[in-house]
Structure 1
Amino acid sequence: MTFSFIDTVPVTTGTVSVAFTDASLDLGDLAPEDVRAAGLAEIASVTGATPYLMHQVHGATVREVTDAEGFPDADGLVTRATGVALLTRAADCVPVLLAAETGEIGAAHAGREGVRRGVVTATVERLQALGARGLRAWVGPHICGGCYEVPEELREDIAAAVPATRATTTWGTPSLDLGAGVLAQLAGSGIPVVEAGGCTREDLTLHSYRRDGAAAGRLAGVVWRTP
């Protein structure tokens, strides 16, 4: 199965679809070129749109896509265009997809630094600057706070910026709940959310860096608009 989750919503100028891939595809930068190309070809076939990737750098830069060219350094993408599928890739980080009633779409990659720096909020604001109204979000599979163990100093550093991220593992050690941080940021922006997936470390049908190390692939959140 290609998708672990898929949803479709009507907008004023067509239909927006969102989906999250499972471990049957590997769309990571380190995947063999033929494996990644096959995954992108499958997404293009399913969506009828041209997949658009970003080179994710754990920051808060958001780029607007006006065509299907390039591979920008960014952790957020937005567009008004149809025929383009925006992808955010992850293997424990939080993939977030956004769609507006007015037709604009966005995708964000929120790791530790992305949550700290507010990449999801920045993506929302960029969409609003494009005229997006009636935004909603889908938060995809990511590692849960019960599994994401970190040193206490790191937990406190991130939690100082985003208090909702402070967590404890199921075995009692310091951890981060990046998903809770993203949900708090979306709530602060007044964006309703669909939670579309469980813990990547616990679910063997999903990619997880914490579980599989360097061998881990990358799942993708995909959002696209059709006329």
Structure 2
Amino acid sequence: MISSTVTTTSTFPPSSADRPFVDGVDLSNGGAVRWCFTGRTQGDLSEAAPQAVTRLGETLGVPIHTVHQVHGDQVVVLGADDVDPSGRAVSPHHADALVTSVCDVGLGVRTADCAPVVLWSDGATDGGVIGAAHGGWSGLEAGIVEATAESMRSMGATHLSAVLGPCIGPECYEFADADLDRLVGRFGPTVRSVTDSGAAALDLRAAVAAACQRAEVQLRPGPPACTACGGSHYSHRARGERMRQLGIVWRTR
């Protein structure tokens, strides 16, 4: 596993009900990476609510770009010529991750139980590459985290780190035995767990951690909130909600 030394900062505490908390790190070569994970307070940010995504980008000061997520392993590379000044709340691209080296551009992935993973590089000469990946169980099995890291490295990224946002916890994630056995075969026994009621469960967080280890990405510690048993996030599995929250990452100069 590659490690890197970063200084954690916490900026932009919520000043209104719809402003998410923004965290981040200062990069060793100058500039910074910022990220945030929205929740119920910020409202629905699904593809059905593009204006809300645009408004959030205006609040954060970065245009938010998304993809149409399909639970696979495709990654969209966003170059300078691909950036829309007002963001792209609805995208024609079918993929589950985005990467870019362009400053002041937000990359967003939608979730409502799946794992939002934001990534960044902090190499001395790589210029700073960021990524955002949508980690549903089938996308993780397909290798979306590894594919995102590979795309970032193809752009010169080194010393990759990641943060995992709110997702469903194993205590709430009853899972079919056959699918669970297959994921254990791919990621190891740490992904096998049990629900609060004693049923077989998938530990999605452990699957992300294993995928990061395989991809030589340093996953920063700290388990995120469970979207299912907490009341702060939308959950498709627990409550059948069609709304979505966003995990967003961007780089500043």
TM score, norm. by length of structure 2: 0.81
Residues 180-226 of structure 1 deviation map (CA, whole Å, 9 limit, x = unaligned): 1111111233322234621000110111111210x341111100112
- Distance in 1 between the 2:68 and 2:217 partners? 26
| Structure 2 CA distance for partners of 1:68 and 1:196, relative to 1, 3 Å | farther
Secondary structure in 1 matching 2:232 = coil
User: Residue 105 of structure 2 aligns to which amino acid in structure 1?
Assistant: V
Report what 2:131 is aligned to: 106
Q: Pick the aligned partner of 2:76 from 54, 63, 82.
A: 63
Residues 37-76 of structure 1 deviation map (CA, whole Å, 9 limit, x = unaligned): 12x1332123211110100000001110112356211111
Report what 2:32 is aligned to: 15
Cα offset, 1:5, TM superposition: 4.6
Report what 1:78 is aligned to: 99
| Structure 2 CA distance for partners of 1:97 and 1:154, relative to 1, 3 Å | same
Residues 130-178 of structure 1 deviation map (CA, whole Å, 9 limit, x = unaligned): 1112221010000011110022222223322222322211211111111
Q: What stretches of structure 1 move > 3 A for 4+ residues in a row? A: 1-5
Cα offset, 1:124, TM superposition: 0.9
Report what 1:170 is aligned to: 196
- Distance in 2 between the 1:58 and 1:168 partners? 24
8 Å CA contact 1:115–1:162 kept in 2: the answer is no
Secondary structure in 2 matching 1:146 = helix
- Distance in 1 between the 2:172 and 2:19 partners? 23
Cα offset, 1:4, TM superposition: 5.7
Say whether residues 1:144 and 2:169 are aligned partners.
Answer: yes
Report what 1:126 is aligned to: 151
Report what 2:230 is aligned to: 203
8 Å CA contact 2:19–2:59 kept in 1: the answer is no
- Distance in 1 between the 2:183 and 2:40 partners? 29
- Distance in 1 between the 2:112 and 2:31 partners? 31
Cα offset, 1:13, TM superposition: 4.7
Cα offset, 1:22, TM superposition: 1.0
Residues 11-43 of structure 1 deviation map (CA, whole Å, 9 limit, x = unaligned): 2352210110011221113x3x4xx412x1332
- Distance in 2 between the 1:177 and 1:110 partners? 12
Residues 77-97 of structure 1 deviation map (CA, whole Å, 9 limit, x = unaligned): 100111310001100000000
Question: Which consecutive unaligned segments of at least 5 residues does structure 2 have?
Answer: 1-16
Q: Pick the aligned partner of 1:91 from 107, 112, 117.
A: 112
8 Å CA contact 1:76–1:106 kept in 2: the answer is yes
- Distance in 1 between the 2:115 and 2:195 partners? 18
Secondary structure in 2 matching 1:160 = helix
Greater Cα shift, 2-11 or 146-155: 2-11
Greater Cα shift, 74-83 or 149-158: 149-158
Question: Which consecutive unaligned segments of at least 5 residues does structure 1 have?
Answer: none
Q: Pick the aligned partner of 2:246 from 216, 220, 226.
A: 220
- Distance in 2 between the 1:105 and 1:149 partners? 33
User: Residue 25 of structure 2 aligns to which amino acid in structure 1?
Assistant: V
8 Å CA contact 1:59–1:113 kept in 2: the answer is yes
- Distance in 1 between the 2:65 and 2:223 partners? 21
